Structure 1
Amino acid sequence: MVSQLESTTKTDIIYPDSDGKPMSDNTKQFRWITVIYYNLEWLFANESNVFVAGDLLWYPVEGNNKICIGPDVMVVFGAPKGDRGSYMQWKEGNIPPQVVFEILSPCNTQTEMNKKLVFYDRYGVEEYYLYDPDKNDFSGWVRSSERLDVIDPVHNWVSPRLKIRFDLSGNELLIYRPDGEPFVGYLEVSRRLEEVLQRAEQAEQRAEEERQRAEQAEQRAEEERQRAERLAQRLRELGIDPEQAD
Structure 2
Amino acid sequence: MSCSSVFQKGSTNMVEISIENLTKHYGTLVALDDVSLKIASGEVFGLLGPNGAGKSTLLKTLVGILRPTTGTIRIGAIDIVADPEKAKKMIGYLPENPSLYTGLTTLEFLQFVGKIRGVPDDLLDREISELLKSFGLEEKRNSLVGTLSKGMKQKVALIATSLHNPQLLVLDEPLTALDPKTRVSVKDWIGGQTARGVTTILSTHDLDVAQTHAGRIAIIDHGKIVAVGDIESLRHMANTTSDARLEDVFLRLTEEKGEDPARR
Does the TM-score normalized on the shorter chain lie above 0.5?
Answer: no
Larger-Rg structure: 1
TM-score, structure 2 normalization: 0.29
TM-score, structure 1 normalization: 0.31
Higher strand share: 2
